[in-house]
Amino acid sequence: MIARHKFLCALFFVLLFGSAHAESPLAQPEPHARPPRAAIASANSQATDAGIEILKAGGNAFDAAIAVSATLGLVEPESSGIGGGAFMLLHIAANDQQVFIDARERAPLAATRDMYLGADGEPLRERSINGALAAAIPGLPAGLVHLAKRYGKLPLAASLAPAIKLAREGWTFSSKNAAMLGFRREVLATNPAAAALFLANGQSPKPGDRLSNPDYAAMLQRLAENGEASFYEGKFAQSLVDGVRAGGGIWSMQDLASYRVVERPVLRIEHRGQQIITVPPPSSGGVALATMLNIMAGFDYVKLPRVARIHLLTESMRRAFRDRALYLGDPDFVEVPVALLASPEYAAGLRAGIHPTKATASAALPGIGDFSDRPSTSHFSIIDTDGNLMAMTQTVNLPFGNAFVVPGSGFLLNNEMDDFSAKPGTPNAYGLVGEDANAIAPGKRPLSSMTPSFVIGPDRIAAIGTPGGSRIITMVLLGILDLMDGGSAEHAAALPRLHHQYLPDVLSAEPAALDESEISELQAMGHTVSAGERSWGNMQVVVWDKQANTVEAGSDPRWKGVGKASTADDGVIFR
Ligand code: DON
């Protein structure tokens, strides 16, 4: 009765005075249609600068993405490159469309389900991690060509020019390069072409040293002039196949010639009145995000005390990662029940099994029985002054990929084959387990955790992503929640991190993420907490606030001085 009375009063008020919105002195101004400036956040300042150069030359966010991507492949070889793959998420402002370009690597056609198992049936991890047999067929070269042709404003040659110049004239070795090299030095030293690139005279370069890579410049130049055929067919392809086979790999010319990028529909998640746009399989990230956010949507978690909220987040993570292990794989090969897994109804069922104050043991969930914090893989986020957005995550998998360079090529190959489940239930380098859905098959794409995403709210629009193996998904989840709470790009990138991935049944926490009393409370609930772990991730975020008409970029402070977030604050204004 009272509600009805209030409604009638409100109606009367509106009839008398017009819409409350129009009359209110607090009425929101119309959101701005275009960002006042462009912004780029990437894991290396040389890559950010390359992207800025292309924006200044009249390129859009997608042209800039090509420049950033090709430069990262040169200056951050431990993380990603031409010998690897990528997921690209585009927001095209002109028609308000989003596109997902899947440039993920594919298993060679001669790959077999048990190719990494020894005579005793156990995985021989060495083979899926180091050397030519670990390499899947690269997708990034085809991805860059596709991006330029379909979505760029500039010719590919223009967008690749900054990376070509840097490869010829020399790029600057960073403290991050040095840290990662220390980690893979021994394996790199076993491959003469890799050693020639990264261990000249048997020495690791020092931060600040300048290195050139004429082979890389020549390869990009050919890509610019002759498109993807220059990589996937003919003489260069033959040299790659010969080099890989000489190293014990199984690539064929047909593998390269038949590689195609795939455009797939994006995954959309509604949460607290905002839209999250993210990537579907062969990424596991989008589906897991949907599961976690949908579970959380049934709790009034914003109002809960911190520990209760962390408990519920952990339980959501645990359940999403169990489903990842059971159901997710390359959708071109296995039927992935995406609509079901991403539905609120399914999440409601999972939520019902969550106790408000007690951890569920992962072993108690029906189902199956560390490199994880090394930031190989690279993410960058870009917004241009037309409002186009790019979130792109690219990878060669583990630091320095498979540590194998085909002589004369100028780039490392990936070890993405390790992202398959070599044996059901046996963990890979990220401790991830999988089942049949992610078993190896010829031409199949290994399941990925890369989760480039957009958050589209009524006032603010953001692009976000990070490296970090299995932890990518939970980092992006926490980053999205922070952005939805109004966090700045820098705040979201800096946020202390927590992670649970079902197996091992452990809640991992960065040093600043939990205090002693929170750890005790979580332990009392039954959680196994591993606190004070080395930090992880390398998040790059851009945010456009349409109401305030501001653009900001945030680069993960964990690699301060290596990554770079650039906006007009640096004196770069594009119109
Ligand atoms: O696609 C994936 O899920 C992995 N290859 C990503 C690897 C990664 O993020 C490495 N960083 N720690």
User: What is the Å distance from ligand 1's center to 435 Cα?
Assistant: 19
Whole-number Å distance between alpha carbons of 228 and 569: 37
Average pLDDT, the chain: 92
State the amino acid at position 151 in one-letter form. Answer: Y
Q: What is the DSSP string of 436-491?
A: GGG---TTPPPPB----EEEE-SSEEEEE----TTHHHHHHHHHHHHHHTT--HHH
Percentage of the chain beyond pLDDT 90 is 87
Instruction: For residue 573, report the distance from its CA to the centre of ligand 1, in Å.
Output: 34
**Residue identifier of the C-alpha nearest atom 1 of ligand 1:** 448
**Which residue of 379, 450, 499 sits with most ligand 1 atoms within 8 Å of its CB, as the best mutation to test the pocket?**
450
* Residues 252 and 109: beta-carbon distance below 8 Å: yes
pLDDT at 316: 98
Per-residue pLDDT band for 24 (boundaries 50, 70, 90) equals: very low
Which token pair is 209? 């040293």
* Atom of ligand 1 at shortest range from CA of 85: 1
If we measure between CA atoms, which residue out of 256, 303, 8 comes closest to residue 110? 256
567 is catalytic: no
| Residue 31, helix vs strand vs coil | coil
Band the pLDDT of 252: cuts 50, 70, 90: very high
**Do 268 and 275 contact (CB within 8 A), yes or no?**
yes
CA–centroid distance, 466 to ligand 1, in Å, is 9
Summarised one tens digit per residue, pLDDT across range 445-464 is 999 999 999 999 999 999 99
The DSSP 8-state label assigned to residue 117 in this structure reads B
Question: By alpha-carbon position, which residue is closest to atom 6 of ligand 1?
Answer: 469
Residue in the structure block whose two tokens are 């200044």: 56
Tell me, in angstroms, the distance from the centre of ligand 1 to residue 224's CA. Answer: 28
Nearest atom in ligand 1 to the alpha carbon of residue 414 is 5
- Closest-CA residue, ligand 1 atom 5, reads 397
Identify the band that residue 433 occupies on the pLDDT scale cut at 50, 70 and 90. confident
Considering the candidates 377, 393, 451, 567, report the single residue annotated as catalytic: 377
pLDDT of 534 reads: 86
- Give the confidence band of 14 by pLDDT, cuts at 50, 70, 90: very low
Question: Residue 285: its pLDDT value, please?
Answer: 98
Q: Are strands 507-509 and 529-530 parallel, antiparallel or unpaired?
A: parallel
Ligand 1 pocket list (CB less than 6 A): 374-377, 395, 397, 416, 419, 448-450, 467-469, 472
- Structure token pair of residue 81: 């490159």
pLDDT tier at 375 (50, 70, 90 boundaries)?
low
pLDDT at residue number 366: 72
* pLDDT tens digits, 104-114: 999 999 999 99
Residue nearest to atom 12 of ligand 1 (CA): 468
561 three-state secondary structure: coil
**pLDDT level of residue 306 (50, 70, 90 thresholds):** very high
Q: What is the model's pLDDT at position 31?
A: 76
| Structure token digits, residue 74 | 């040169």
- Which residues are within 8 A (CB) of 455 and not within 5 positions of it... i.e. 6 or more apart? 274, 275, 276, 277, 461, 462, 464, 480, 483, 484
Q: Name which residue sits closest to atom 2 of ligand 1, judged by CA.
A: 448
pLDDT band for position 3 (50/70/90)? very low
CA 262 from chain center: how many Å?
17
Q: What is the pLDDT of residues 312-351, one digit of tens each?
A: 999 999 999 999 999 999 999 999 999 999 999 999 999 9
- In angstroms, the first-to-last Cα distance of the chain is 56
pLDDT in tens, 532-552: 878 999 999 999 999 999 999
Structure tokens at 77: 């070889």
